Amino acid sequence: MTAGTPGFADRFDGFDGWAYLAAASQGPLPLASARAGREALKLKEQPWRMSTATHLSAVREVRALAARLLGAREESVALLTGAGGAVNVAARGLTFAPGDEVLLPRHEFPANDLPWRWLAGQGVQRRVVEPDHASGAVSAARLAAEVGPRTRVVAFSHVSYLHGGRIDPAPVVEAARKVGALTVVDGSQAAGALPFDFGASGVDVYAVAGYKYLLGPVGTGLGLFSPSALSRLAVGDVNWTAVAGSENVSALDALAGEVAFRPGALRYDVHETAAYFNLLPLAESLRLVSEVTPAAVQAHVRGLLDRILARLPRGWEPASPLELDARSHILCLRGPGTARTEAAFEALQAARVWTSLRSGRIRVAPHLYNGAADIERLLAVLEEHSEG
């Protein structure tokens, strides 16, 4: 692998000769994050070094870093173990009536689909919007136009895991607000690689897995909640650290009346929020992504993907939206038939070019550590599996 953006590629382990083009599956852990993980293990080996202040500072730091990176107030951020945690807060915390509707595009990732299917037992209807793009993508305009009087939630991915299409939240947010519906957006394939201002977006719930473009450990996630969402979503699981007055564990009997939560989204924090093995590495990853900026990631990656599009071998075609209002930093490719596409994927692995295969498409997802030489290696293999 050759260096990507100067000063960034050397923040990683070196990739052992692989051209790693699969940040949409797993973002590699930066060296600083790996060091922080080892320090977390040392803390557990020497628990006398841990204190209440250590717990609080770890949680506070990640919440603040995430808020700054994603344009949110700190009180809007919940620390979770994955994107599904935020989706489930909405699915379990919103009051539904029989006949209410959840609207979502076709081909949503299971984390932002199955929690809504589960509501069928309450009489909630799950309505799927069919694609209006050849890639299988649903446009923002199509999704917004399908919002109706019974819609209570519009759930969609900011960037699709399957075809890489991007949905601009603005038209959907506007349509949802007219009927009082919540917008629940899965930002797992967007956060860290796509500039996003949660506070200005109007989105109600933004769910993020931390192990993709945010370069954090598996088992990390974020949930961003608007003031409207905070006022409407009941708490399903009581995390004792989110209860006002609970810090004095020797005087819990003195808590009077109903349980009162501390202000903000921390009421939805995962239990045992101060999980050092995850939080300390995630903090370092968030610092790095913030230093580089999602805008720089987007520009660099788009440049690499443009190289692919300009030189696609005969018989290969993009299987992602390329229109300006729907293009992202993920590019999916189809070859001359499914068999040849799958053979090319296997050949890429043999050539130490790591991509993903999703429903008959090769998904290419670079980051700032990738350079032109990685793209050349990809194109050389595709050429071997072209027509003619």
Cα Dmax for the chain: 80
Sheet containing strand 361-364, strands side by side: 317-318, 331-334, 361-364, 356-358
Per-residue model confidence as pLDDT tens for the chain (388 residues) = 445 666 788 999 989 999 999 999 999 999 999 999 999 999 999 999 988 888 889 999 999 999 999 999 999 999 999 999 999 999 999 999 999 999 999 999 999 999 999 999 999 999 999 999 999 999 999 999 999 999 999 999 999 999 999 999 999 999 999 999 999 999 999 999 999 999 999 999 999 999 999 999 999 999 999 999 999 999 999 998 888 877 766 666 666 667 888 999 999 999 999 999 999 999 999 999 999 999 999 999 999 999 999 999 999 999 999 999 999 999 999 999 999 999 999 999 999 999 999 999 999 999 999 999 999 999 999 999 998 6
pLDDT for position 2 = 47
Residue showing tokens 């009927």: 179
Domain 9-24+293-384: which CATH number of 3.10.310.30, 3.40.50.720, 3.40.718.10, 3.90.1150.10: 3.90.1150.10
pLDDT for position 1 = 41
- The interaxial angle of helices 294-310 and 276-292, nearest 10 deg, is 70
What are the sequence ranges of the domains in the chain? 9-24+293-384, 37-290
Q: Counting every residue, how long is the chain?
A: 388
Domain 37-290: which CATH number of 3.40.50.720, 3.40.640.10, 3.10.310.30, 3.40.50.150: 3.40.640.10
Per residue, the 3-state secondary structure of 227-256, as one string, reads HHHHHHCCCCCCCHHHECCCCCHHHHHHCC
Residues in a beta bridge with 159: 166
Residue showing tokens 């933004």: 206
Q: What is the CA radius of gyration of the chain?
A: 22
Q: What angle do CA 296, 155, 365 make, to 5 degrees?
A: 30
CB 5 within 8 A of CB 367: no
Give the distance, in angstroms, between the CA of residue 8 and the centroid of all CA atoms in the same chain.
21
Q: What does 265-312 look like in DSSP terms, one character per residue?
A: GGGGPPSS---HHHHHHHHHHHHHHHHH-HHHHHHHHHHHHHHHHHTP
Give the distance, in angstroms, between the CA of residue 237 and the centroid of all CA atoms in the same chain.
23
β-pairing, 353-354 vs 77-80, is unpaired
CB 28 within 8 A of CB 354: no
What 34-43 contacts at long range (C-beta under 8 Å, 24+ apart), as own/partner pairs, is 34/281, 35/284, 36/280, 36/281, 36/283, 36/284, 37/217, 37/277, 37/280, 37/281, 39/280, 40/276, 40/277, 40/279, 40/280, 40/281, 41/277, 43/276
Instruction: Enter the tokens of residue 145.
Output: 């136009």
